[in-house]
Amino acid sequence: MVVNLTFSRQLRTLGNQPRPTVSARYSEDPYGTEDLQREAFWRTLVAGRNGRGKLAPESYATLLDIPWNADSGRFYGTYGRAFQEIGTQNIPFRFAGRDFQDYFLQEVGGGRRQDADSNWYLDGDPFIRVVGVLWGRRLITTKKGYIGIADRNARQKDLLCILLGCDVPAILRPPGDAYTWTGESYAHDLMEGQAMKGLADGPDTSQDIVIL
> Considering only 23-32, 71-80, 109-118, which range has the smallest mean pLDDT?
109-118
d(CA 209, CA 5) in angstroms, rounded, equals 6
Q: Is the pTM of this model over 0.85?
A: no
35 confidence band (pLDDT: 50, 70, 90) = very high
How many domains, in total, are found in the chain? 1
Residue 46's pLDDT is what?
96
> Considering only 59-68, 107-116, 119-128, which range has the smallest mean pLDDT?
107-116
How many other CB atoms are found less than 10 A from the CB of residue 60? 23
Domain range for 14: 2-210
Q: What is the mean pLDDT of the chain?
A: 77
d(CA 188, CA 175) in angstroms, rounded, equals 26
Phi/psi zone of residue 33: left (φ > 0), alpha (ψ -120 to 50 degrees), beta? beta
72 confidence band (pLDDT: 50, 70, 90) = low
Query: What's the one-letter identity of residue 42?
Result: W
70 confidence band (pLDDT: 50, 70, 90) = low
Residue 207 predicted with pLDDT over 50: yes
User: How much is the average pLDDT of 181-207?
Assistant: 79
Of residues 107 and 169, more confidence is placed in 169
